[in-house]
Chain A
Amino acid sequence: MKKIFVSAIIVIMAIAVSNVASAQCKNFAKKICKLELLPYVHDGIYNATVLSEGETAELYKTFYAGQEYRVTVCGDENLPPIQFQVLDAERNVLYDNKKHNYAKSWDFKLQSSKQLIISIQVQTSDELNDQILSGCVAVLVGFMNIENTFNQNK
């Protein structure tokens, strides 16, 4: 009987912790990660999730010709570094932040519109630890608000 009681408490605590983690993720994306996008305008789409070390996520998105973009990937400070790669549709690597000291952002523009994949992986910790680290990871996309320079035929 006591065991069931303890189990029930543990489950309730686990649910509560998961809800807190979710709310923290929301605040993390909105208040911390979004600042990394500046001076680019955030596109308004919320992409954040709780990932553990070694886990991956991928964002599929069409990026348009001529538009200047910034992709920002940031993770909770308790997490090991987050690797992100920008891949084309055939999964050829166009950018790898691991080669740039795990930079949080990459700015680019395209000559022609393309669908790209932003592949994210939480690296595994080097420290000997029984606990698997997990935390919020957000991937945000921003674009530069540039005035129209195109001369429309009248």
Chain B
Amino acid sequence: MSPENFIDHVRAEQESLRRFLLALCCGNAQEADDIAQDALVRAYVSSGSFLGLSKFSTWLFRIAYNCYIDHCRKQRPETIPADSPQALNVPATEETDASFRHQRLYQALDQLPEKEKAVIALHYFEDRSIKDIASILQIPVGTVKYHLSVGRNHLKSLLQ
């Protein structure tokens, strides 16, 4: 894959990829973009091994998810208690309902296990099919359905 070809593919996928990582990083845009950059470099380095057996975006998301897991292992993020003043500090630029809802959502996502968070993000935010999610996370379809169901219930109880 030529660099130009790779950049064209990335241009088409970058927003979706960054949104997925933003959800995994619970709203930390800086961290999400750093992981996205790392994932794209890794993808470029191994683009020779991309055989086209799966969609480019599936392959890219799989690399991004692995980068995110590596990042979590290397540097366990500070967990902020959901009721701490820092956690409740809604970005002050626009005190809208939407930003408040996003903040609540990020706080809830932060309390989910990694797999559940990833499944929820891919299914609801990226509109990925169960089969696609299974391919990205490299787990069986049944496990994806299980994580989706459990994650949904967890989120519901956290948000209510």
Q: Are A and B a genuine interacting pair, yes or no? A: no
